[in-house]
Structure 1
Amino acid sequence: MSDGVPADVAAEVERQHALIMRGTAYGDEGTRRVMDRELRARLTESLIEDRPLRVYLGVDPTSPDLHIGHCVTLRKLALFQHLGHQSILLIGDFTGLVGDPSDKDSLRPMQAAEILNRNAETYRDQAFKLLDPLTTEVRRNSEWLGEMSFGDVIHLASNFTVQQFAERDTFSNRIDAGQPVYLHEFMYGLMQGYDAVALQADVQLGGTDQTFNIMCGRTLQERQEQSAQVAVLTPILVGTDGTLRMSKSTGNYIGIDEPPNTQYGKAMSIPDDVIVRFFDYGTNVSDDEVDRIEADLNSGALKPMDAKRRLARSIVAEWHGDEAAQAAEEQWTRTFSKRSVPDDIPEAPIEFGGADTVEVALPVLLHDIGAAASRAEAKRLVSQGAVRIDDEVVKEQGTKIRNGAVLRVGRRKWYRIIPV
């Protein structure tokens, strides 16, 4: 027994804590330490009192489809459910009218209620692919926000200052740029904060962009003499472009209801440097397996192309089954084989000296064979990831190349490497 906590309870707290905190992300180490400590305490109380924690994830149904980026937090919610806690899926049908400004550098369009209601139904059905529909508590925040008077809103607003909201990057950047920030956008943090009060939440899940809104909830809970919820924050999954956050509006998403061939093809298009991140946050592949994949990629035992095939199979198999994943892979392979290497590509002779491979200065080679107008342009193409050798992106200025390798520059320039 440690600090009055039975040994078996302490062991279970450590087990659950490790599972929950794996893969989380916080903006600063101080916040992480506070949330880490509070989560341990809340788990201990839950086990001793035999009271499941009330854990919620809020989603605004601003589009009809969920993508695998949404599933980062949904998986956490499913984990809490698996650990025996009460998972709550909150449909933001009222907050969605305003739209969350957290990840936006401009005014977000307001949505029509009928569109949000229609989208909410598809969100729930898609979320149940990860959550147990029999034990998931589904709520809509219009239940309480829609019933508030203007006096109630003023009372909520009195808990915060204009400076607290104006200092947020999403607002301060727009103010500095001379762009308007509308008063109703400030209301979003108030509304989401009150959701925590209405739900009497112990834990709220969200991406790192939700930190401010979740902290609003902690403030309002304390003012209402509730225990402040614990924030469990996860990273934002980048899209298939490897740069911007995954979003349907930017087109860089993999939808969970998209056809198998579409999912597979999109997964195969991601940049090599985000493969592990997609495995970690975009699939149901075990943590140990992801660690092995990362180690094999780093050691060179696993080629990026083969890793992406595994990734694409994993994504399709989760949402459509193993047979669909196999069929999608076969279809992609047939299509890729037809279009990957055009007929009669030009040959690029280089000196091998009798060896099978040789080290080359890639910008020099690209300029010499006419693939780039200058060595400076060649260096830029390499650094931008526009050069592939045997369909592997090469960003190093110096690299090894084999006899017979296929060199591709951009989308349309192809060369087969041969000895002089």
Structure 2
Amino acid sequence: MKRLLIANRGEIAVRIARTAREMGIETLVIASEPDADSLAARSADHVVVVGPAPAPASYLNQDAIIAAALDNGCDAVHPGYGFLSENAEFARKVVDAGLTWVGPDAGAIEMMGNKSMARDSARKAGVPVLRGSDGPLDPEADALALARDIGYPLVVKASAGGGGRGIRFVHDEGELLATIEMARGEAASVFGDPTVYLERFVKHARHVEVQVLGDGKNFIHLGDRDCSMQRRSQKVIEEAPAPDLPDAVRQTIRESSVELARQCGYSGAGTVEFLYDPVNHEAAFIEMNTRIQVEHPVTEVVTGVDLVREQLLIASTGSMSVRQEDIEFKGHAIECRINAEDPHNNFFPSPGVISVLDWFEGEGVRIDAGVEAGSTVSPYYDSMLAKLIVHKDTREAAIEGALEALYGTRIEGVKTTIPVLKKLLDRLEFSAVKHHSKFIETVDNLMEPK
């Protein structure tokens, strides 16, 4: 691999370019017109503008991206996360164009992208799953009888959904049939696939996940993470390892995740996500993400493994550089996602120009940023500015370190979520691991309007 096209923007594009440079790989990043002079664009060796601001005309423009790779002598494409990272059609187009795709093959992306198929694959691999329908719900099936067997409350999930989308809750039998029909119509409209399935709902569940790596021959895990602090199903704070997890549960999810990767012949970095029921001490499969995750830095700092480097090695040589016996877990890490949103105004996006940006510097503190002073925060894309990662010997020290780093960070020109991150880290429920994936919605007046 000599020249890599990075098909993304923001902090992940900066992150990929950094590792590629360390490996002696030349980089080319695509950009929309307003991103042409962004930090990501200047972090790469070359930049190519592929279209105007709207993502469908630029970062989702498959043909323009592939043309940029071919016209500029690239031999590989790294999709990062979001955008086209889990698009099997794009992965096939990249390979068909004679380029190397940095990620699992299109078949694995399709299998795990269909949630009901992924659930079936997980069950066959011995991964614990929630009680639910076996595969997609047949329109002719007796949904009422099946739901009685699963038990209420339950959820109707779109097979092609993900990231918290395509989920509808059903509290009792009277809501079921109408909800299924609405879910099918919504799934067809939003995802282009009307199939849905049923699954038991776990109240106050925590969101835990396992990082896996595979090169088609060898398959390992790099431990677990907890991503339970979420707002509207979007992760806010992540940590590794997952705290307060029984040893038996931890071992089960790690080993079964590796088995799922092996069953898929997986090649690349992937994340197997679970719901953990802290009352019954059970974990159950949600989905597998076939890409690098936003929260991958917490795994990197506790293991010392550069996941992007492993992605590039697997794609270029067919082999990863680490084995399971090489992985050592040291300390605890917490990641805070800093977004350009106004927490005093219902988290309304806050585009604009960053006039002042002063990151806290200290031992064990890592900043993965996609902006700098003078950067323009666009209203067209995800509002995340950066990730603040703190690695310490213990969880308690990591929480204290993250708070210190947040209080020591200064950003002006746009509103950010730093105030709410401080409040969440300082909550007794977080330090005592009593939070869950719907916790933020239960907190009254988390941020008073100004």
TM-score of the alignment, normalized to the shorter chain, above 0.5 = no
Q: Which structure's residues are more often helix, by fraction?
A: 1
Higher relative contact order (CA closer than 8 Å, sequence separation 6+) = 2
Q: Which structure's residues are more often strand, by fraction?
A: 2
Larger radius of gyration: 1
TM-score, with normalisation over the residues of structure 1?
0.28
TM-score, with normalisation over the residues of structure 2?
0.27
